[in-house]
């Protein structure tokens, strides 16, 4: 089973590039507003304790893990971005193009922070600002939202068997409609019978 109209390579690449650029722009714009308008470390309620804004600079990963080895996360993000771009070359599926586009945009958003923000290349601190204390203690940003959403979507596409080229994996017990299954022994018997018939008729 395939998608009705598989994308061409250029069309798939364009979808990935446009979505990645939009996500990157949104992430960096929110970070700019955060730096310009929020006091560092002070919670600003938006919807009570359900949603708060807190401007922090994170040198590590989630929950500030690995804050002393920031360069490791820079390399990891660069590798992930490279893999996504490489996979894009094989994409013919609209769904995969959308998912990889938003995932790439999120990765580039945080990678840009690692490369260009204080204290400097490649040890930059990621700007975080979104807090939902009722759900998790971590503070995250727009890029993180798209990264998590993208990874979940990748997992779902793999589970349903949708390949990058738009085709779907067939279950092992799927059989062609109207066809019959046969064993090697049955095939051999049929071939022997056909040979015997040919000799009799000659």
DSSP per position, 143-167: HHHHHHHHHHHHHHHHHTTB-TTSB
Which alpha helices (DSSP H) does the chain contain, by range?
9-37, 70-88, 94-116, 142-159, 184-201
87 located within any domain: yes
Token duo for residue 39: 């006091």
The residue from 27, 144, 165, 187 that is catalytic is 144
Map tokens 């071939």 to a residue: 191
Please state, in angstroms and rounded to a whole number, the distance separating the CA atoms of residues 92 and 126: 33
Task: Give the count of domains, the chain.
Answer: 1
* pTM for the predicted model, two decimal places: 0.79
Average pLDDT over the chain reads 84
pLDDT tens profile 154-167: 999 999 999 999 99
pLDDT tens profile 94-131: 999 999 999 999 999 999 999 999 988 888 999 999 99
117 located within any domain: yes
108 located within any domain: yes
Please state, in angstroms and rounded to a whole number, the distance separating the CA atoms of residues 194 and 182: 16
80 located within any domain: yes
The residue from 27, 128, 165, 174 that is catalytic is 128
Q: Phi and psi at residue 138, in whole multiples of 5°?
A: -75, 150
Please state, in angstroms and rounded to a whole number, the distance separating the CA atoms of residues 31 and 38: 10
In a 13 Å sphere around the CA of 140, the CA atoms on its Cβ side amount to 17
Map tokens 């990935």 to a residue: 16
State residue 159's pLDDT score.
Answer: 96
Residue 105 lies in domain: 16-37+62-123+141-159
166 located within any domain: no
Please state, in angstroms and rounded to a whole number, the distance separating the CA atoms of residues 32 and 159: 37
4 located within any domain: no
Is 174 an annotated catalytic residue?
no
186 located within any domain: no
Is 144 an annotated catalytic residue?
yes
Q: Is the pLDDT of residue 199 over 50?
A: no
55 located within any domain: no
């Amino acid at each position: 089973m395939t998608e009705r109209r598989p994308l061409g390579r250029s069309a798939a690449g364009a979808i990935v590039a446009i979505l990645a650029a939009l996500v990157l722009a949104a992430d960096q714009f929110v970070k700019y507003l955060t730096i310009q308008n929020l006091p560092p470390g002070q919670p600003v309620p938006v919807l009570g304790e359900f949603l708060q804004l807190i401007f922090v600079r994170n040198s590590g990963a989630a929950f500030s893990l690995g804050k002393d080895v920031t360069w490791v996360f820079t390399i990891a993000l660069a590798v992930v971005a490279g893999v996504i771009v490489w996979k894009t070359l094989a994409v013919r599926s609209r769904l995969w193009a959308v998912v990889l586009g938003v995932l790439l945009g999120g990765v580039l958003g945080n990678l840009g922070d690692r490369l260009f923000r204080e204290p400097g290349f490649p040890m930059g601190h990621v700007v975080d600002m979104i807090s939902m204390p009722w759900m998790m203690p971590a503070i995250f940003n727009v890029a993180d939202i798209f990264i998590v959403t993208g990874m979940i979507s990748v997992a779902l596409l793999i589970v349903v068997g949708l390949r990058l080229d738009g085709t779907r994996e067939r279950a092992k017990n799927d059989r062609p409609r109207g066809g019959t299954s046969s064993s090697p022994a049955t095939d051999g018997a049929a071939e022997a019978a056909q040979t015997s018939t040919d000799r009799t008729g000659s």
